[in-house]
Amino acid sequence: MPKLNVNPTRMEMTRLKKQLKTATRGHKLLKDKLDELMKQFLEIVKENKRLREQAENALEKAYKSFIIARAVMSEEFLGEALMMPKQKIAVDVSKKNIMSVNVPEFDFKTSDNSSDIYPYGLAFTSGELDLSMEAFSEAMEPLLKLAQSEKSAQLMAQEIERTRRRVNALENVMIPNYQETIKFIVQKLEENERASTTRLMKVKDMIAEKAIEERRKQDEILQGA
């Protein structure tokens, strides 16, 4: 039985062959796109792992130093020291196209060019607090890049899933349906051609028998004369 409900005609078969050719070409293009998406995705995942380790190490260092600073400084004095930060952080978000996927790009900027990250005087604070501030500052960039990488990985994974579904639909449904229907039409046309040939042969035999019968009658008339 055909997979598609069509009339078994040569015109329909020609149309289906064109659609099959288009579907086959589309399947190849989508398969190539899927392979490239997977390659890009694995690179992002690898970078994601590196950034996560870098960010976790920086945060671990920052929290350890901060815990020691809290232990040697009063909570009130610590709060006052961190109350008025000197720098402000701004993040510019743009987009980058990777295989038809718009992934984000984060640009990390400070509000001024000052390299002084300490919102307090160094004379009356703990050195551990200084180390903590430095570690938190160092963690900002890998954390931002990690957020960019994870969002990119999420968007790429969604596009991979969509592309895989389309590839599977073409590979397992559409292309086999076209092939099965074309095969059915070919068989039907061959069957009709055999039937037509059989009818023509019968008509030819009937004409030949009629001609023989007429000649026999003419010979009988001539012999009677």
Indicate whether 191 belongs to any domain: no
- Residue 55 predicted with pLDDT over 90: no
Q: What number is the average pLDDT over the span 70-87?
A: 69
Indicate whether 125 belongs to any domain: yes
Highest mean pLDDT of the ranges 69-83, 152-166, 177-191? 152-166
Q: What's the burial of 75, exposed, middle or buried (CB within 10 Å: 0-12/13-18/19+)?
A: exposed
More confident residue, 209 or 19: 19
Indicate whether 19 belongs to any domain: no
Widest Cα–Cα separation across the chain: 151
**Within 10 Å of residue 194's Cβ, how many Cβ atoms?**
10
Q: What number is the average pLDDT over the span 90-115?
A: 78
The pTM is what? Answer: 0.69
Indicate whether 12 belongs to any domain: no
Determine the pLDDT at residue 124. Answer: 60
More confident residue, 150 or 139: 150
Indicate whether 184 belongs to any domain: no
% pLDDT > 90, the chain: 31
Q: State the alpha helices, DSSP H only, in 83-174.
A: 127-169
Q: Which domain holds residue 80?
A: 26-169
Indicate whether 175 belongs to any domain: no
Do the Cβ atoms of 37 and 99 come closer than 8 Å? yes
Indicate whether 201 belongs to any domain: no
What's the CATH code of the domain at 91?
A: 1.10.287.3240
DSSP 86: S
Indicate whether 52 belongs to any domain: yes
Determine the pLDDT at residue 188. Answer: 87
- Mean pLDDT of the residues in the chain: 82
- Residue 2 predicted with pLDDT over 70: no
Q: What 3-state class would DSSP assign to 97?
A: strand
Determine the pLDDT at residue 109. Answer: 75
Domain count, the chain: 1
